[in-house]
Amino acid sequence: MSRPLLQLALDHTSLEAAQRDVALLQDHVDIVEAGTILCLTEGLSAVKALRAQCPEKIIVADWKVADA
């Protein structure tokens, strides 16, 4: 059985804050999620910046409008 993947959800209002957390935790996670708040405040540039910061990680962009 393979090990579960650990996901870091970045529900920040600024890209700078999100990138600080990624810098601290990227060695311990498998997936980096640009949370809804980050995506709505920073747009696609946040996803591109996270991809550049950690190219070996799975990047998820959470663009949901509502939890149902």
Confirm whether 67 is domain-assigned. no
Number of domains in the chain: 1
Look at residue 66 in the predicted model and tell me its pLDDT.
72
Confirm whether 25 is domain-assigned. yes
Confirm whether 68 is domain-assigned. no
Q: Determine the Cα–Cα distance for residues 22 and 16; give it in Å rounded to an integer.
A: 10
Q: What is the pLDDT confidence band of residue 64, given thresholds at 50, 70 and 90?
A: confident
Q: Determine the Cα–Cα distance for residues 27 and 1; give it in Å rounded to an integer.
A: 22
Provide the residue range defining the domain that includes 13.
7-61
Confirm whether 26 is domain-assigned. yes
Look at residue 1 in the predicted model and tell me its pLDDT.
78
Give residue-wise pLDDT tens across range 2-50.
999 999 999 999 999 999 999 999 999 999 999 999 999 999 999 999 9
Q: Name the burial class of residue 10, with classes exposed (0-12), middle (13-18) and buried (19+) by CB atoms within 10 angstroms of its CB.
A: buried
Q: Determine the Cα–Cα distance for residues 64 and 11; give it in Å rounded to an integer.
A: 13
pTM recorded for the entire structure: 0.88
